[in-house]
Amino acid sequence: MNKQQRVMSVLELSSLYDDFKAIWWLSHDEFPCELDYRGFVAQTSKWEDWVTENVSVIQKVHSLKSNDSDIKLKHVIGSLVKNPDVLISWKYSTSSKGNVMIAGLKALYSINDNKFSIEEFDTEIRQFKLQEEKKSQVYMVVQRQHGLDLQDFDIDIPTMDIEDNYGSEWAEKHERLLEAFTFKKKKGIALLHGLPGTGKSMYIRNLIATLCEDRTVIYLPNQLINCITDPGFIPLMAEYSNSILVIEDADEAIKSRKTGGTSVDKLLNLADGILSDFLGTQIICTFNNDISLIDDALLRKGRLIIKHEFGKLPIEAAQKLSDKLGFKTTITEDMTLAEIYNQDDSLSDIEKKNNKIGFGR
């Protein structure tokens, strides 16, 4: 490739990817695997010594703010000296008192690269971490004046035992679901459905809190479900590749095309189409409708990570949970989690121990 051809290739790739991935595609013909690290504080001298010894710098980006007197290094892209096929990128966020904040540290590597060890690389990076960034890795899609954006937020984490609240069958599926979401390149969609009050939202809170320790989780509120078809949605997701997209109350987004569903095509492409190769997005959908009303294509083998219907807890399990929560009631029929947790609600029809429990239905 001559100089002119290389310049044209760079320009063409830069129009499709950020600089980091554009550089990958200049020398590779396969989609990369990607490691993402939460921002961390490192000792400046120790970090720079490691960079000098271990990184061949390909590109540096500097910035000069109006109130600064010095040009500052902001973004670095390079390859590992001992394995040039592995690309590494990071941003300098802030620095003070001999320390520096490393943000957006990423590595791109080939799944067929036997010389690259994720464990060894992770061990090397961990040696620098004086303190991890406190910023949450949970974001919510929001509509701003200029278009779609992400807002980081904190989430209340419910303290609960999965088996006590959802039964032994789901406890086993829960472990399989967590395992599936530890693999960033595993495509697909998880479908969680059931009647209102069966604990889907409480479970999602618990799941998000667990997943965001290692993955970026993006929450799409049902008020913005139609934004899936917005031209700005894909570029937004591209900034957070290999993230997990959570869509709560997703009935409209997964509605069968046979009954007028208009968003499911884009969702299918995100979960297991060409876009999924670019974005690496895994999807979790919760919904209330019967599963027969969703698009059949979502259930296709290889695309579906897991599906589960949340229902009422059987009498014995409901009694066990009720006792654990401190209620003095005798359970005589299957109950939803909402009914079990809200037995002391003044509007509840539940009667106390030695009386029959009724729900007025």
pLDDT higher than threshold 70 for residue 21: yes
Looking at the domain assignment, is residue 61 inside a domain?
Answer: yes
Answer with the residue of higher pLDDT: 248 or 361: 248
Does residue 352 register a pLDDT over 70? no
d(CA 198, CA 193): 9
Neighbours of 136 (CB within 10 A): 15
Mean pLDDT on 232-246: 84
For residues 128 and 170, membership in a common domain is answered with no
14 and 70, same domain (yes or no): yes
Higher pLDDT, 123 or 229: 123
Last residue of a domain, one of 266, 283, 310: 310
Q: What is the pTM of this model?
A: 0.59
- What is the distance between the alpha carbons of residues 102 and 105, in angstroms, rounded to a whole number? 7
Bridge partners of 80?
A: 55, 83
88 and 227 in one domain? no
Same domain, 293 and 227: yes
Interval 128-145 mean pLDDT: 74
**What kind and span of H or E run contains 138?**
strand 138-144
Do residues 170 and 293 share a domain?
A: yes
- Do the domain assignments include residue 348? no
* CATH number of domain containing 217: 3.40.50.300
Q: Is residue 111 part of a domain?
A: yes
In the prediction, which pLDDT does 63 show? Answer: 67
Per-residue pLDDT band for 320 (boundaries 50, 70, 90) equals very high
What pLDDT, on the 0 to 100 scale, is given for residue 334? 93
| Helix (H) or strand (E) segment spanning residue 337 | helix 337-341
**Structure tokens belonging to residue 3:** 């100089």
226 — pLDDT class (breaks 50, 70, 90) = confident
Please tell me the distance from the alpha carbon of residue 281 to that of residue 256, in angstroms, as a whole number: 21
**Where in the sequence is the domain holding 172, given as residue range(s)?**
162-310
User: 312 versus 137: which is more confidently predicted?
Assistant: 312
- Is 168 found in the same domain as 117? no
> Does residue 143 fall inside a structural domain?
no
Give me the pLDDT at residue 356, please.
35
Claim to verify: residue 124 and residue 195 sit in the same structural domain: no
In the chain, how many domains are there? 2
Structure confidence at residue 64 as a pLDDT band (50, 70, 90)? low
Within a domain: residue 326? Answer: no
- 298 shares a domain with 186: yes
**Position 277 in a domain:** yes
Question: In terms of domains, do 198 and 297 share one?
Answer: yes
pLDDT score recorded for residue 219: 92
Is residue 94 in some structural domain? yes
Residues 30, 96, single domain; the answer is yes
Give kind and range of the element (H or E) at residue 194. Answer: strand 189-194
pLDDT-derived band at 151, boundaries 50, 70, 90: confident
Any idea which of 39-43, 184-188, 261-265, 356-360 has the lowest mean pLDDT? 356-360
Q: Are residues 296 and 182 in the same domain?
A: yes
| Alpha-carbon distance values, 20 to 61, 87, 214, 241 (Å) | 12, 8, 21, 13
| pLDDT one-digit tens code per residue, 72-90 | 778 899 999 999 999 999 9
